[in-house]
Structure 1
Amino acid sequence: MSEPDADHVKSELAPTDSVRLALARTPARVLAGRAGPGYRTGTWLRLREDHAIARDAVRTELDLTRDLGVLVETYRLFEVCTLASSKDEYLARPDLGRKLSEAAITQISAECPCGADLQLVIGDGLSPTAVAAQVPSLVPLLAAEAERRGWRFGRPFAVRYCRVGVLNDVGEVLDPAVVVLLIGERPGLATADGLSAYLAYRPRVGHTDADRNLISNIHANGVPLAEAARRVATLATTMMREQASGVRVKEDLRALGSDALSPNQ
């Protein structure tokens, strides 16, 4: 039995205006139709394609020159590594991705100034694809926000095989007021290039997720880059004022205007 064409499916389903509005705002597979008990062929093939893209995003390796070359030139970006020695070990041992290697600590101490107001760290995370897609344009926006506020902007660096907990070691080594970790999110079956920004006020060893704040879904169909930069800077301002982060600090999107409350975000 042949698969119905798109026009027939739309006519058959006859979605209400509210359903059409929902479909326009999400890549989720809703009202996809079926063939017997399963997906239609087209839906199944797109699902397989998205799954392959997600797997590739996790398995790819960050290449500093290829993926972040413009930042290498502008900010003298350099790369260090966690205690994980390979992608396989990184995936199997999350704990190793939360700690900087001794060589990393030595290099960071030598090349980055201590006591910055805003220290930026780039972590490959579970999607180096997201880092390559979002970070080259986002970093200059964050640097501009820091300059506009008169902040000391620490020299950015990249961390290979990085987990969020690496924030604690960065805080111990450089003692910045606020650390921002830009890290690739775990890919889903709708997007593999989503970036997250984790923020922490004076992070230290022993701090947990309760001591951090998160701005997630930074990508073309989520939080736009300019909006992400404004949200990071505004949240960092609050952290510096309150001298706290995590559960003690709440992000107030109303302060950013109507754009931050868009349903697409």
Structure 2
Amino acid sequence: MKTEVPQLPSLARLRELTPARVALGLAGASLPTKALLEFTLDHARARDAVHAAFDADGLVQGLADLGLRAIRVSSQAPGRRDYLARPDLGRMLDADSKARLASQGGTAGALAIIIADGLSPTAVNTHAVALLRKLLPPLQRETIDIAHAVVATGARVALGDEIGRALGARMTVTLIGERPGLSAADSLGAYLTFDPVIGTTDEKRNCVSNIHGGGLSYEDAAAKIGWLIREGWARQMTGIALKDESGGRASDGFLAYSGERDNFVED
């Protein structure tokens, strides 16, 4: 009996399925010119994304258009160079920001949305408001109120803990620019933290990452984030104890349901 040998996918087909650099070829002992130029361009885009200007004013206006009045804060990093060289400074609020947040007064049980520049201001400028436009309506249908919105400059993820504690927020959702890669310079991440306190470690957070044009769509990201907010609130936890069981798609997850979860509300 003749044994059929399974056909392996070609390298050309593999390149169609991933933006990763595979099967680039060789020119002598070096890369082909085209592959080298593409690498150089993507590397430049990644560097530009890290050093891009953070459009805090535009984000504040975008939040206002969605019905959210935003508070602007800054970390202790006085500039971008300091932010990159001293990650610890990006995890602490400066004195003026502390006073500004203290004047807002805490609201027990409140949800706070934080938009932070992170390592890719380009990602935040491009995607944060568009993502919230998909996320906010189902949150409202679930009667999950957003008590505070914050736009943070020079921020690391952990800055959200101090912000949340100052505002008396029971849960924070931080939308932040992820470290640019050579296939995505504008990737946005969302970090959810229940009961934020200074010194919270990462196993107590949930993260939805890779939100950009070639990655997770706004609809699917909003479904995952919304499900985690709802379930995290109900179970009084986030982190490794809260597994994403949203189904992975908007049609299966949070955006698809309202109230008793038996009414389809999104196209």
**How high is the TM-score relative to the length of structure 1?**
0.85
Structure number with higher helix proportion: 1
1:107-156, Cα deviation, whole Å (9 max, x unpaired): 22334762354210001000000001101211222221210110111231
Match of 1:140 in 2: 133
Q: Secondary structure at the match of 1:121?
A: strand
Match of 2:55 in 1: 63
1:164-194, Cα deviation, whole Å (9 max, x unpaired): 1112102211222221000000000111100
Match of 1:11 in 2: none
Q: CA–CA distance in 2 between the matches of 1:133 and 1:68?
A: 14
Q: Secondary structure at the match of 1:156?
A: strand
> Is the 8 Å Cα contact of residues 111 and 148 (structure 2) preserved in structure 1?
no
Measured at CA, do residues 168 and 49 of structure 1 come closer, stay the same or move farther in structure 2, by a change above 3 Å? same
Q: Secondary structure at the match of 2:24?
A: coil
Q: Which amino acid aligns with 1:101?
A: D
Pairwise CA distance, 1:160: 0.4
> Is the 8 Å Cα contact of residues 217 and 223 (structure 1) preserved in structure 2?
yes
Equivalent residues in 2 for 1:71-86, closer than 5 Å = 71-74=63-66, 75-86=68-79
Q: CA–CA distance in 1 between the matches of 2:94 and 2:119?
A: 19
> Is the 8 Å Cα contact of residues 227 and 246 (structure 2) preserved in structure 1?
no
Measured at CA, do residues 22 and 81 of structure 1 come closer, stay the same or move farther in structure 2, by a change above 3 Å? same
Q: CA–CA distance in 2 between the matches of 1:95 and 1:193?
A: 23
1:3-38, Cα deviation, whole Å (9 max, x unpaired): xxxxxxxxxxxx954655532231111112121121
Match of 1:44 in 2: 36
Q: CA–CA distance in 2 between the matches of 1:113 and 1:58?
A: 33
Pairwise CA distance, 1:86: 0.8
Q: Secondary structure at the match of 1:146?
A: helix
Matched, 1:230 2:243: no
Deviates more, 1:211-220 or 1:72-81: 72-81
Q: CA–CA distance in 1 between the matches of 2:40 and 2:88?
A: 31
Q: 2:234 aligns with which of 241, 247, 260?
A: 241
Measured at CA, do residues 241 and 101 of structure 1 come closer, stay the same or move farther in structure 2, by a change above 3 Å? same
Q: Secondary structure at the match of 2:169?
A: coil
Q: Which amino acid aligns with 1:120?
A: I
> Is the 8 Å Cα contact of residues 53 and 192 (structure 1) preserved in structure 2?
yes
Q: CA–CA distance in 2 between the matches of 1:117 and 1:68?
A: 20
Instruction: Work out the number of aligned pairs and report it.
Output: 246
Q: CA–CA distance in 1 between the matches of 2:128 and 2:147?
A: 16
Pairwise CA distance, 1:257: 7.0
1:76-115, Cα deviation, whole Å (9 max, x unpaired): 3342101111111111110110111221122223347623
Structure number with higher strand proportion: 2
Q: 1:151 aligns with which of 144, 160, 182?
A: 144
Q: Which amino acid aligns with 1:240?
A: W
**How high is the TM-score relative to the length of structure 2?**
0.84
1:197-252, Cα deviation, whole Å (9 max, x unpaired): 00000111221001111111001111101111111110111111211111221112
Q: 2:96 aligns with which of 91, 97, 103?
A: 103
Q: CA–CA distance in 1 between the matches of 2:200 and 2:78?
A: 24
RMSD over aligned Cα atoms: 2.2
Q: 2:189 aligns with which of 166, 188, 196?
A: 196
Measured at CA, do residues 88 and 20 of structure 1 come closer, stay the same or move farther in structure 2, by a change above 3 Å? same
Equivalent residues in 2 for 1:88-99, closer than 5 Å = 88-99=81-92
Match of 1:175 in 2: 168
Q: Which amino acid aligns with 1:151?
A: I
Q: CA–CA distance in 1 between the matches of 2:102 and 2:225?
A: 25
Q: Which amino acid aligns with 2:78?
A: S
> Is the 8 Å Cα contact of residues 223 and 246 (structure 2) preserved in structure 1?
no
Q: 5+ residue gaps in structure 2?
A: 1-6, 254-267
Measured at CA, do residues 18 and 254 of structure 1 come closer, stay the same or move farther in structure 2, by a change above 3 Å? farther
